[in-house]
Amino acid sequence: MFNVKSLLISLLGFSLIACSPQQRGDDEIIIGTITGPETQLVETAKKVAKDRYGLKLTIVSFEDYVVPNTALAENDIDANMFQHQPYLDVVIDKKKYAITSIGKMFIYPMGVYSKKYKQLSDLHQGAVIGIPNDPSNGARALRLLAKAGIITIPNVNDLELTPKKITSNPKALVIKEIVAAQLPRVLNDLDAAVINTNFAIPAGLSPSKEAIFLEDKNSPYANIVVVRTSEKDKEKYRKLMEALHSPEVELEAKKLFSDQAIPAW
């Protein structure tokens, strides 16, 4: 069985056992993020939180979308910022975690990228398209492909949409499910891939310039901040959200994402 606590101890360089939730004060928060630009946003919020609110943030970076919610539910971290509400809904339904959103952050449009094609209509019969293998982002990717008109799906609001549920696939596209963080690395081996912005930009892919199809700015997928439900009304989390919504964080998002980070609050 995967040992979440061992991973966190390794990442932080100290034992969280010695700093359990009961021992952490009202001015301390351990927050989990996904490695990449969003971690830099939290680094900016960390400084604002300390200087403006006397709040001490410790950041733990993860490589996938599964562990941060497990770590939160098991009290190894106090909050996380990496997911949108549809993904959280699926996790809570499956795992029964007592965790909840306390506020929205930015929308990062998902895009389709290709090193071989300039537009999706040019895809050949049997082309291989990579999508994220986690439930919500995989469903989001399929909805984007359906919006582009290259596949048909039965219900755009199906949170557990999978390739098996595709109802029409005229070009017999092969949908390959891959860990989201790995999609930019294997793009050259695919005909196209649907990639989250937080993984596209570190790989040198510009959503506005290089995506051959992109979610529009009305996308409902805003990233959220999540804590344990029993602690959602704590004052320190109100301060955390104020730091995350600060002008300094908005400016950093502009630097990191250009026009591809849209405030959702």
264: left (phi over 0), alpha (psi -120 to 50) or beta: alpha
Give the integer Cα–Cα distance in Å for 36 and 200.
Answer: 10
Which tokens is 154 given? 């039965």
Q: pLDDT digit string (tens) for 32-84?
A: 999 988 899 999 999 999 999 999 999 999 988 899 999 999 999 999 999 98
pLDDT number for residue 198 = 82
pLDDT of residue 3: 44
Q: What percent of the chain has pLDDT over 70?
A: 89
Helices (H), 206-257: 207-210, 235-244, 247-257
Give the residue with greater pLDDT, 102 vs 136.
102
Q: How far apart are CA 89 and CA 82, in angstroms?
A: 14
Do 4-108+221-263 and 111-214 have matching folds? yes
CATH homologous superfamily, domain 4-108+221-263: Periplasmic binding protein-like II (3.40.190.10)
What is the mean pLDDT of the segment spanning 136-163?
87
User: What is the chain's percent helix, strand, coil content, to nearest 5?
Assistant: 40, 20, 35
Domain coordinates in residue numbering, the chain: 4-108+221-263, 111-214
How much is the pLDDT for 186?
98
139 has pLDDT over 80: yes
* pLDDT over 70 (residue 4): no
Which overall architecture, per CATH, does domain 111-214 show?
3-Layer(aba) Sandwich (3.40)
